Amino acid sequence: MTTTADTLLWVVIPYVCLAFFVLGHAWRYRYDKFGWTTRSSQLYERRLLRWASPLFHFGILAVFLGHVMGLGIPKAWTEAVGMSEELYHVLAVSIGAVAGFSTVVGLVLLIYRRRTVGPVFRATTRMDKVMYLVLAVVIFLGMWNTVAGSVLNLGGHYDYRDGVSVWFRGIFRFDLHPELMADAPLGFQLHGMAAMLLFALWPFTRLVHVFSAPVGYLWRPYVVYRSRSDRLGARQARPGWERVERKEPSRR
Ligand code: HEM
C-alpha cells in the first residue's frame, strides 16, 4: 500500500527537483549567459589537475553510461537480446568497479587540490562547496550500493532493475511507482534522494558546463599569449613583429 509519505518522497519531491533542473537551466541561460562556465582553475594549478580531471571525467562518463543501461533499459530488453542476468551482473560490476574507482580517486584529488592550493581555494565559492559535498555524497552512496550489495552481498540480494529502475523510468512516463522505492534498501533510497537534490542544485552551480561540452576546443586555433614583460629573450624578433617602444604620455 502506498502511504502519503511515499508519494511525497518518491513522486512530489522528484518532480519538484526535476522542475528546478529544467526551469533553473532556462533561467540561468537567460539571466547569466556569461556566467555559464566551468570557472576553470587550470591557470592556478596544473600538476594535480592533469591527473584529477581526466580520472574524474572519464570515470563519471562511464558511470553515466552505466546508469543509462541500468536505469534506462528494461531488464526484458537485455534478456530479449540474449544477455542473461549473470552476464549483465558480471559486466555491470566489473566495468562499474573501474569506473567508480576512477571517479572516486579523481574526486578526492579534485577536492584535495581545491582545499590545499591557495589560489584555487580562494576562487572557491560557497555554492562550489555545497555542490562538492552533495556530489561526493551521491557518489559515495552509489559506490556503497555497488560494493555492499553486488560485491559483498550484504543484506541479501536486491535487483534494482526490478525496483529502482522501474520507479525511475516511471517518472518520465507518468507511470508512478512510489511503492517500489519505499521497498528498496535504505542505501538505494538515500542515493536516489541525494541525486534528486543534486539535480535541483545543478543549474545554480558550475555543473552547467556539462551542457556546453567544448567540442570546438579540439579544432580551435592556438591561443597566443604575449608577455608584457620588458625582458625580450634572446631570439631576434621576426620582421614585422619588432618591439615598439612604449611612449609615456606627455604631461604638460
Ligand atoms: C535518481 C537518479 C539516480 C538513480 C535512481 C541512481 C541509481 C543507481 C543504481 C541503481 C546504482 C547501482 C548500484 C549497484 O550496483 O547495485 C547506482 C550506482 C552509482 N551511482 Fe547512481 N543513481 C542516480 C543518480 C546518480 C548521480 C547523479 C550520480 C553522480 C553524479 C550517481 C553516481 C553513482 C555511482 C558513482 C555509482 C556506483 C557506480 C559504479 O559502481 O561504478 N548516481 N546508482
Burial state string for 96-131 with b = 16 or more CB within 10 A and e = fewer than 16: beebbebbbebbebbbebbeebeebeeeeeeeeeeb
Quick one: cell of 17?
Answer: 527537483
The 8-class DSSP code of residue 81 comes to T
Q: Report the atom number in ligand 1 closest to the C-alpha of 160.
A: 10
Q: Pick the residue whose CA is nearest to atom 12 on ligand 1.
A: 146
Angstrom distances, CA of residue 145 to CA of 72, 91, 138, 168, 185: 18, 16, 11, 16, 9
Q: Pick the residue whose CA is nearest to atom 14 on ligand 1.
A: 146
Write the Ramachandran bin of 233: left for phi over 0, alpha for psi from -120 to 50, otherwise beta: left
Question: What distance in angstroms lies between residue 142's CA and the mean position of ligand 1's atoms?
Answer: 4
Q: Report the atom number in ligand 1 closest to the C-alpha of 103.
A: 35
What contacts 101, CB < 8 A, 6 or more positions away?
59
Question: In the structure, which protein residues have their CB atom closer than 6 angstroms to any atom of ligand 1?
Answer: 63, 66-67, 70-71, 96, 99-100, 103, 135, 138-139, 142-143, 145-146, 149-150, 160, 164, 168, 191-192, 195-196, 198
> What domains are defined for the chain?
4-218 (1.20.950.20)
Task: State pTM to two decimals.
Answer: 0.85
Question: What distance in angstroms lies between residue 138's CA and the mean position of ligand 1's atoms?
Answer: 8
Most informative mutation of 16, 146, 206 for ligand 1 (most atoms within 8 A of CB): 146
Question: What distance in angstroms lies between residue 88's CA and the mean position of ligand 1's atoms?
Answer: 16
pLDDT in tens, the chain (252 residues): 899 999 999 999 999 999 999 999 999 999 998 888 888 888 888 999 999 999 999 999 999 999 999 999 999 999 999 999 999 999 999 999 999 999 999 999 999 999 999 999 999 999 999 999 999 999 999 999 998 887 787 878 899 999 999 999 999 999 999 999 999 999 999 999 999 999 999 999 999 999 986 677 667 776 666 666 656 666 677 776 676 666 666 655
